[in-house]
Structure 1
């Protein structure tokens, strides 16, 4: 370790040397030693696997971005629907029962579709990261499959984002039902 990397500042940023050695133990793929890159055929094969790996990691990242965009759309739609319900609730006029029921049904259907999107993206992400883990077996480092997911996260009470996301449509559905009931009782 150089003087730049010694001391408490580096350890505070990167963790203790014991934690780094734990990560190193699961990061490097022992079935792909450096001498395996010696001949030209092996080099081309490894370059091909690396390129496929990069493309697939990018594909998994784009799927996460699409999930985020879909969540933004559904969150906006639910916000608009709750705003409409709130405007009707604070107005002096009573909304027709059929209108309240139709808007509530539309809101609940939209929440169901949102929940299905979250479930679909969860399955898609699981499949993509399983393929990334399999591709890593052909690479010198197991950055995602062992080092990050296997070492860094289990001790931190990590809850996957999609687990939390699945509750958001249910919460909005409950808000829509409560708001509609309030409007109908009023």
Structure 2
């Protein structure tokens, strides 16, 4: 690359730090996706297990216990989503601050394009949708608990 301008050693350090931060942010996103896959798998297994228990000799009490465990896991899932979101938000703040020392600002520019008005109407952050998935699972676990209630003796 003969025509590239020479970078000062300090500029090279800033660029290397920038590359490292972007890579770290990508890894956090990958871990977040892995965590979501884990929670999705666990919740699916719990729902299946609770459905099986409701039809077995183990009875309604075990269905309640398993469904309550599923609800607790959903709470942990929501906390994980929020934690990963705040971790990535902090990383991107650092990345955008570092971009001020670089000739281009791709992350800042991307967010400017995604949310031109700054009102959040054009682009909805992924975590707002992502957090709905465990809430849906909580509703399913709650429905399993309600289905296992002895309604005849309650209304009887």
1:88: Cα distance to partner? 3.5
User: Could you list the per-position Cα deviations for residues 43-87 of structure 1 after superposition, in whole angstroms to 9, with x for gaps in the alignment?
Assistant: 111100000000000000000000000000000001111112233
Q: Does 1:60 align with 2:25?
A: yes
1:112: Cα distance to partner? 0.6
Match of 1:119 in 2: 82
CA distance in 2, matches of 1:138, 1:154: 23
CA distance in 2, matches of 1:96, 1:83: 15
1:130: Cα distance to partner? 0.4
Determine if contact 1:85/1:180 at 8 Å carries over to the other structure: no
Aligned residues: 143
Q: Does 1:149 align with 2:111?
A: yes
Higher RCO (Cα < 8 Å, 6 or more apart): 1
User: Could you list the per-position Cα deviations for residues 107-138 of structure 1 after superposition, in whole angstroms to 9, with x for gaps in the alignment?
Assistant: 11101100100010111011000000001000
Moved over 6 A (4+): none
Tell me the TM-score normalized by structure 1: 0.71
5+ residue gaps, structure 2, are: 152-156
CA distance in 2, matches of 1:157, 1:175: 31
Q: Does 1:97 align with 2:60?
A: yes
Which of 1 and 2 has greater Rg? Answer: 1
Find the partner of 1:178 among 143, 149, 152: 143
CA distance in 2, matches of 1:70, 1:185: 36
1:144: Cα distance to partner? 0.6
Change (3 A) 1:101 1:87: closer
CA distance in 1, matches of 2:76, 2:41: 14
Tell me the TM-score normalized by structure 2: 0.84
